[in-house]
Structure 1
Amino acid sequence: MFQGSFVALVTPMREDGSVDDESLKALVGWHVEQGTDGIVAMGTTGESATLDEKEHCKAIEQIIDYTAGRVPVIAGTGANSTTEAVRLTRCAEQAGADACLLVTPYYNKPTQEGLYLHFKAVAEAVDIPQMLYNVPGRTACDMLPETVGRLSGIANIIGIKEATGLLDRVSQLRELCGDEFDIFSGDDATSREFVLAGGQGTISVTANIAPAEVHQMIAAALDGDTGRAEMIDKAIQPLHTNLFLEANPIPVKWALHEMGRIPTGIRLPLTWFADEYRDTLRQAMIQASVLQN
């Protein structure tokens, strides 16, 4: 259903923490111009954990409005409460999202059966196409390929964002879920190899500041052009590492501010990027040609 480079979009905020609608609209327009294949609204990078439900739904509506059908929008609607995930997913469906992305419930550490029943319940409650999101490094919960295979049999569960960085998951998931199931990387450092191994694309943090480069790299990988994909990836590889010097989205919001694209707002408990890491990230941005020396 989906393919290519999807940006896990930041949510621009003013100093007081309010959402900066003007910067958000400009970011969406820039991504469309730069060739980004799709936008993920209100994921981890969008600070979904610090927005309340009303703000969450409004941001999704705004991004869909600003995109104006030019690229697909996948709305992040996951929660560690099944009832909350249903409410957010229904909100995204009503706003006109193309699909929803639902993270595994965090903190409460459900069993594999609990994960199956959670996602099954949301899929049965809301008809919109839904992508699973497995990121155990943040949720303390790893949804195993066998569980994903069971869930792939539900008609409106159409794919997964797999952020373990384990490349053998691609072949495991493909065998269990079939050729029609979308398998996306959620790990920038391994996304090129992930797509070359059979994935459909990436949902990327790096694409926030290097949208054209990530798009071109993923397009080359999808075409099987290993050499071109590797050449592009090599130039932006330091970004994949240094955009995680502190918890995402702290570094990427600072990087976008350095590029003049967003103000300095971020919500507690997240804090502004520490001085000690800035030169390292700035040099990576210069190397990737997204910032002038």
Structure 2
Amino acid sequence: MSRELLTADDVKGAWAIVPTPAKQGASDWRATNTVDVDETARMVDGLIKAGVDGILSMGTLGEAATMTYDEKLVFMQTLVDTAAGRVPVFVGTTCINTRDTVALTRKAVDIGATGTMLGIPMWCAPSVDVAVQFYKDVSEAVPDINVAIYANPEAFKFDFPRNFWAQVAEIPQVVTAKYIGVATLLPDLAAIKGRIKLLPIDFDYYGAARMDDSINAFWTSGAVCHPLVSTTLRDLVAQARESGDWSQAKAFMGRLGPTAATLFPNGSFKEFSTYNIALEKARMTAGGWMDAGPCRPPYHLCPEPYLEGARKSGRMWAELGKALENEA
């Protein structure tokens, strides 16, 4: 029996993208069974109780590229069991080829994941035809799972052009996309014709929402530094859209925006992408709301000044969250 799938209209609000918490010692290549199951369950339950609308996992900062197959299954199962149907859970199933991706995606269906956050296999830079066919093949092979396209040009050596979006919008299972930047947002929205819900990052959400009314959801890795910041952003934008008065949402972005300043080394997304995992996990742990644990090899090395910038970003986010608690 086929499962009922989400539509683009079902994707709303704040979607937390989470790390894969690691046990101490996970940075050693000899380590096995590195998933901190208890912290994973605490993180997911806490996010849902705080009001997030969905969970995205096992992308870059989720260390899908550095977990073993067995670790991935343990993590997926913990996510799904803890969420217990309260919110949609998307798990990353990108592998280095289509056949392994299909096999892991089928496992995700068996475990009960709502969807897969699916990037393009990372080896050769793909042509548009290759990228589109990959999504078609996985969707044909695994029809009972939703697909969130993981559109990260640095990770996947692909710029996700407009003709790519126009073609993947024809795949019924593709309902959303983790989206970066707003420079090409309006042309990409025109290409997908409402069939895919594009999710900008939290820092871009206010601006994107002002650009187009279809933007009513976003992804947020900062949620695990303090989820109240993410849900407040969601609620203020929703209130502004309802009332037509954007002043409070704009003022809130004036408080949120500065927390990003030290996260990106030298203000560079490209440099950030080189050390993405280490920077995000340092930021998250410094926020104090959860313990992301160490990074798995080989991406556990990062310049200390970069790490300290990420920690400062996490502390600033957490301070904003505590201020919001006091204002409530």
TM-score under structure 1 normalisation?
0.89
RMSD of equivalent CA atoms: 2.4
Q: What residue in structure 1 maps to residue 47 of structure 2?
A: 31
Q: How does 1:1-293 map to 2 (within 5 A)?
A: 1-17=10-26, 18-127=34-143, 128-163=145-180, 165-169=181-185, 171-185=186-200, 187-198=201-212, 199-223=215-239, 224=241, 226-245=246-265, 247-258=275-286, 259=288, 261-262=290-291, 264-271=293-300, 274-277=303-306, 280-288=309-317, 289=319
Q: Percent identity?
A: 22
Partner secondary structure for residue 7 of structure 1: strand
Cα separation, partners in 2 of 1:113 and 1:272, compared to 1, 3 Å: closer
Distance 2:133 2:307 in 1: 43
The letter for the 2-side match of 1:131 is A
Q: Which secondary structure does the structure 1 equivalent of 2:199 belong to?
A: strand
Matched residue type, 2:131: L
Deviation digits for residues 66-124 of structure 1 (CA, Å, limit 9, x no counterpart): 11122111111223311122122111111111121111232311110111111100010
Name stretches of at least 5 consecutive residues in structure 2 with no aligned partner: 1-9, 27-33, 266-271, 323-328
Q: Is the deviation greater in 150-159 or in 274-283?
A: 274-283
**Secondary structure at 1:49 match in 2:** coil
Task: Tell me the distance in 1 between the aligned counterparts of 2:152 and 2:292.
Answer: 28
Give 2:268's aligned residue.
none
Partners of 1:104 and 1:135 within 8 A in 2: no
| Paired position in structure 1 for 2:3 | none
**Secondary structure in structure 2 of the residue aligned to 1:39:** strand
- TM-aligned CA distance change 1:210 to 1:232, over 3 Å: farther
Q: Distance in 2 between matches of 1:56 and 1:88?
A: 9
SS at match of 2:219: strand
Contact map agreement 2:14 2:234 (CA 8 A) in 1: yes
> 1:42-68 CA distances to partner (integer Å, 9 max, x unpaired)?
121211110122221221111011111
Instruction: Count the aligned residue pairs.
Output: 290
The amino acid that maps onto 1:250 is: A
Q: Deviations over 1:215-240 (max 9, x none)?
A: 22133324425322222222222333
Change (3 A) 1:73 1:15: same
Query: Which runs of 5 or more residues in structure 1 are unaligned?
Result: none
Query: Higher mean Cα deviation, 251-260 or 59-68?
Result: 251-260
Aligned amino acid, residue 253 of structure 1: K
